[in-house]
Copies of this chain bind each other. A is one copy, B any other.
Amino acid sequence: MAARRPALDEATLIGRYFARPLPARRGVILGIGDDAAVTRLPAGHDLVTATDAIFAGVHYPRGTPPRAIGHRCLAVNLSDLAAMGATPLWASLALSLPRARAAWLREFAAGFFALARAAGIVLIGGDTVRGPEGATVTVQGRLRRGTAITRSGARPGDGIWVTGHPGDAVAGRLLLARRGGSRALRQRFLYPQPRLREGAALAGVASAMMDISDGLHADLGKLMCASACGADFDADRLPLSRQLLAAVGIEAAREMALSGGDDYELLFTVPAGREAQLARLTRRWALPVTRIGTVRRRAGLRWRLDGAAFRFRDRTFRHF
């Protein structure tokens, strides 16, 4: 009963921008266009489901290129599948827009489907509604029964590892606002790369895993809390990128790495007995993997730098 004069009716919008031929062998029995999608999970697998919402002005600045928004709404969800060690299968997209503009939708769809193709995930349905600019995506993936890597498996003595270069994304976000600085950093914010291959490869190696979305320090706290442990860290082992160091200097770089958020890197723990296995695995990765600390029995996170306690300003993202 709301908008009487459609700019673009829903069926046309979906047909033009979101309905794509279904790739073979993805288990999709019925895709976009009915009341719901019907899919088939391979035998011996469990289903993994994650949902994340992003809104303009909250999760990305207004004026962010629509291609990057299309990429982002899927990437943040794929990152959750990566953090379980799951393989992506199907995505549903609820897209909300104040009005349907062709140029915006074309770019959004280009960003969404470029990543979907790369990740091997198929869009099976969703909803398009008039409302505030934002997108909520639900992804479904699979893993062999009993192989999910949860947050609760870390044990005292396990090494704590992180992929990539935390802090780059938040620096990129700040640079975007100033319309200058390192293109590499801006791209790190605009096009986060879900660590799907790495996450899946860590099944049987990592004892616990999660992705970094709110900020390394806060997310480490959640990982340790779920595992009922604490941890010791060396702030000088933080894998700060050359671009980040060049852009903001070492002190701000450490702060950004610890509390910036939006990294979508993997944070995981590995028992001492599996370190050789981890080394063999990561030797083939282009992505750096860095040990930043050790799990201990006592609760709490303790950061040290040059042998002394290290304090930093907490800029962590708050959901509310």
A interface residues with partner B (beta carbon < 8 Å): 1-11, 13, 29-30, 33-41, 43, 46-55, 58-59, 80-81, 83-84, 86, 90, 92-94, 96-97, 99-100, 124-132, 134, 136, 138, 140-141, 143, 145, 148, 150-152, 170, 173, 209-211, 222, 226, 260-262, 315, 317-320
Contact = CB atoms under 8 A, between A and B. Distances in A.
A93 B51 contact: yes
A48 B53 contact: no
B210 A35 contact: yes
Contacts of A11: 222
A96 B134 contact: yes
Contact of A36 (B13, B84, B126): B84
Contact of A39 (B30, B46, B125, B320): B46
Contacts of A211: 35
Describe A's contact surface by its main secondary structure.
mixed
A55 B129 contact: yes
A319 B173 CA distance: 32
A49 B140 contact: yes
A211 B100 CA distance: 25
